[in-house]
Amino acid sequence: MPQTAQQFWDSVAPITKYLVLGSVLTTVLTGFGLVPYYYLHLDFNSIFSRDLQVWRLFTNLFFFGGFSLNLLFNLLFLIQFSSKLENGHFEGRTADFAFMFLVGFFPMTFAAWLLGVPYLSFSYLTYLVYIWCNKNPEENLSMMFIPVTIPARYFPWALMGLHVLMGGSPIGDLIGIVSGHIYHYLDDYYPRYYGTRVLKTPQFLYSIFPPTRMNGAVHGFGGPQQRNPQPQQPAGRNWGAGRRLAD
């Protein structure tokens, strides 16, 4: 039975909802002329000026452009992969999920400063995709309108290739991929091979998002973790093409 719009929205994970609402809000504010576009982009001269326009560090992460079909694809893309992570690998561990975003913020912002990238919203999408794909490397995904399945481990690179073929720049994708690899290495490989955890979720995030107790297990680094088996993700449920705006 097809989902209603309300059922679809209710199925979206909590933090993912805030990300989507933030993206819609920036589009509405700029689309109706309430806030100029140039007040949202990442401008380090303005951030560190006397005005201290520090909001730019965050507003650039949400803005996907004006009202368009591309905006819809990007929002659906965000909902899909962010919800998969939040309801899957990070189930019951909202603080750790929020920390994942915080970890990605620093290398991406540094890259934006180095390369002069004004918006990191697309890079954050790629960041989410890369992390999910590396948590589920054996899954097969397909891009919309292209009847070819791609192993998840190669999917971020396939999206970057598609973006280039569509006339876009690969810089945003590369920033997301490199930042995602940094997180994946520090969160997965380093603890596994060196026996110590570098990434530790700050206590203040646990105060905001307490770990939830599920089936008798406490989820979160604050207590012992007993992860339930992850359900298999259906192949081919991916929004793929159409996710980018022209640079």
Q: For 91-119, what is each residue's pLDDT tens digit?
A: 999 999 999 999 999 999 999 999 999 99
Task: Tell me the average pLDDT across 167-193.
Answer: 95
Residue 242 in any domain: the answer is no
Residue 15 in any domain: the answer is yes
Task: Tell me the average pLDDT across 3-13.
Answer: 83
**Which residues span the domain enclosing 113?**
5-218
What pLDDT does residue 223 have?
38
| Mean pLDDT (the chain, rounded) | 85
Helix (H) / strand (E) containing 142 = strand 140-142
Structural domain tally of the chain?
A: 1
Cα separation, 235 vs 142, whole angstroms: 7
Residue 76 Cα distances to 71, 96, 101, 238, 247, angstroms? 9, 23, 19, 9, 20
Burial of 97 (0-12, 13-18, 19+ CB in 10 A): buried
Whether the predicted pLDDT of 231 surpasses 60: no
Residue 226 in any domain: the answer is no
Residues 6+ apart with CB under 8 A from 111: 117, 123, 175, 178, 179
Judged by average pLDDT, the poorest of 100-114, 168-182, 215-229 is 215-229
* Helical H segments across the chain, by residue range: 5-10, 14-31, 44-47, 56-59, 69-87, 94-115, 121-135, 155-165, 171-184, 190-194, 203-208
Judged by average pLDDT, the poorest of 29-38, 51-60, 142-151, 231-240 is 231-240
Residue 224 in any domain: the answer is no
Residue 229 in any domain: the answer is no
Whether the predicted pLDDT of 78 surpasses 70: yes
Q: Look up tokens 């002069």; give the residue.
A: 116
pLDDT band at 12 (very low <50, low <70, confident <90, very high): confident
Residue 235 in any domain: the answer is no
Query: pTM of the prediction?
Result: 0.83
Q: Which residue has the higher pLDDT, 247 or 144?
A: 144
Give the CATH number, domain containing residue 59. Answer: 1.20.1540.10
Cα atoms found within 13 Å of the Cα of residue 29, Cβ hemisphere only: 16
Q: Is 167 helix (H, G, I), strand (E, B) or coil?
A: coil
pLDDT band at 42 (very low <50, low <70, confident <90, very high): very high
Residue 56 in any domain: the answer is yes
Cα separation, 140 vs 151, whole angstroms: 4
Cα separation, 118 vs 145, whole angstroms: 30
Task: Tell me the average pLDDT across 128-139.
Answer: 95
What pLDDT does residue 1 have?
55
What pLDDT does residue 202 have?
96
What pLDDT does residue 34 have?
95
Q: Is 140 helix (H, G, I), strand (E, B) or coil?
A: strand
Single-letter residue type at 27:
T
Residue 70 in any domain: the answer is yes
Q: What percent of the chain clears pLDDT 70, i.e. is strictly above it?
A: 84
Q: Is 239 helix (H, G, I), strand (E, B) or coil?
A: coil
Residues 6+ apart with CB under 8 A from 145: 240, 241, 242
What pLDDT does residue 237 have?
35
Residues 6+ apart with CB under 8 A from 228: 91, 214, 215, 217
Cα separation, 243 vs 175, whole angstroms: 16
What pLDDT does residue 243 have?
41
